[in-house]
């Protein structure tokens, strides 16, 4: 699925890291499975001791916005801020890739709602200045920038992580970065460090998340949850639905 980030003007550099986790899905002609995750997942197989209210399973999307932000202890990995609870996991993830022969770059971690508002307003103003109507400008802006309050980067639990070679070819971030072995390693081994590829490329996942494929956007959910979600091919939305159906809330 082709991803293009061209916003033009002086805001392009700002939007480079802001659009990660932001592209809303358009129309898809593919048929979606009619079976929900709660029908295919056996509740008896769900990880023990897990609840929908666990800190690492917080859901933030357009249907569940977070405004104001939920405060958390911050820590840095390089020059990027993440939730302090996942700092070591991020470091271990990157070190694991390095040990496997892949240099990586942490493109983005925590982003505040205020920052997201500023980026959204800048892109919206640019679209209007280019002659778009108010309605068209809003639609075009929402297509490339997550609306303030609905980006899980605000939790500090989401990271944009890329292999250096993949990032060199796609500095604006693109799903096609998975053509590189470095990015495929990150996707395959993310669960070992407690992360899942948050926005997958299959039509069912896109329908559930409302977000197009992002081969660079990883979300911390804990090792136990990550391995289960990956094994059963579940989005966070579907996993939480299954947990709730099992009375684990």
Q: Which two tokens stand for residue 175?
A: 């799903």
CATH number of the domain enclosing 120 = 3.30.1380.10
Please report whether residue 80 resides in a domain: no
Question: Distance between CA 201 and CA 25 in Å, rounded?
Answer: 11
Tens-level pLDDT at each residue, the chain (249 residues): 434 333 344 334 444 444 444 443 333 333 333 334 444 666 668 999 999 999 999 999 989 998 888 899 999 999 999 999 999 999 999 999 999 999 999 999 999 999 889 988 998 999 999 999 999 999 888 766 778 899 999 999 999 999 999 999 999 899 999 999 999 999 999 999 999 999 999 999 989 998 889 999 999 999 999 999 999 999 999 999 999 999 998
Is 50 in contact with 225 (CB distance < 8 Å)? yes
Is 121 exposed, middle or buried (CB count within 10 Å of its CB: 0-12, 13-18, 19+)? middle
Question: Distance between CA 37 and CA 39 in Å, rounded?
Answer: 5
Is 192 in contact with 217 (CB distance < 8 Å)? no
DSSP E strand stretches across 154-201: 158-163, 195-199
Question: Distance between CA 222 and CA 190 in Å, rounded?
Answer: 10
State phi, psi for 220 to the nearest 5 degrees: -80, 125
Please report whether residue 72 resides in a domain: no
Q: Which domain holds residue 170?
A: 12-19+44-67+87-245
31: which DSSP letter? P
Count of domains in the chain?
1
Give pLDDT, residue 10: 38
Please report whether residue 163 resides in a domain: yes
Query: What are the b/e assignments for 132-151, b being 16+ CB within 10 Å?
Result: beeeebbebbbebbbbbbbb
Please report whether residue 56 resides in a domain: yes
Please report whether residue 134 resides in a domain: yes
78: which DSSP letter? T
Between the alpha carbon of residue 181 and those of residues 13, 201, 218, the distances in Å are: 26, 17, 17
- Find the Cα–Cα–Cα–Cα dihedral 184, 188, 189, 190, rounded to 10°: 90
Is 193 in contact with 56 (CB distance < 8 Å)? no
Question: Distance between CA 9 and CA 114 in Å, rounded?
Answer: 21
Please report whether residue 170 resides in a domain: yes
24: which DSSP letter? B
Please report whether residue 39 resides in a domain: no
Which residues 6+ apart lie within 8 Å of 133 measured at CB?
none
């Amino acid at each position: 699925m082709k991803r293009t980030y061209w916003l033009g003007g002086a805001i392009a550099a700002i939007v480079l890291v802001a659009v990660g986790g932001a592209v809303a899905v358009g129309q898809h002609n593919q048929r979606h499975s009619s079976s929900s995750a709660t029908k295919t997942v056996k509740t008896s197989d769900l990880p023990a001791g897990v609840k929908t209210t666990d800190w690492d399973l917080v859901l933030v999307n357009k249907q569940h916005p977070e405004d104001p932000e939920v405060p958390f202890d911050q820590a840095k990995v390089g020059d990027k801020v993440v939730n302090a609870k996942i700092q070591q996991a991020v470091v271990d993830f990157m070190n694991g890739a390095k040990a496997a022969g892949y240099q990586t770059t942490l493109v983005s971690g925590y982003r505040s709602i205020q920052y997201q508002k500023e980026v959204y307003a800048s892109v919206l103003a640019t679209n209007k200045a280019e002659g778009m109507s108010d309605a068209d400008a809003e639609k075009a802006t929402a297509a490339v920038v997550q609306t303030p309050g609905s980006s899980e980067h605000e939790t500090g639990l989401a990271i944009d992580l890329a292999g250096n070679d993949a990032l060199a070819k796609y500095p604006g971030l693109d799903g096609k970065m998975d053509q590189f072995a470095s990015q495929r390693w990150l996707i395959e081994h993310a669960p070992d460090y407690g992360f899942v590829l948050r926005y997958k490329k299959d039509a069912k996942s896109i329908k559930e998340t409302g977000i197009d494929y992002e081969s660079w956007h990883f979300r911390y959910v804990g090792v136990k949850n990550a391995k289960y979600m990956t094994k059963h091919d579940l989005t966070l939305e579907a996993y939480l639905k299954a947990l709730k159906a099992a009375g684990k809330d």
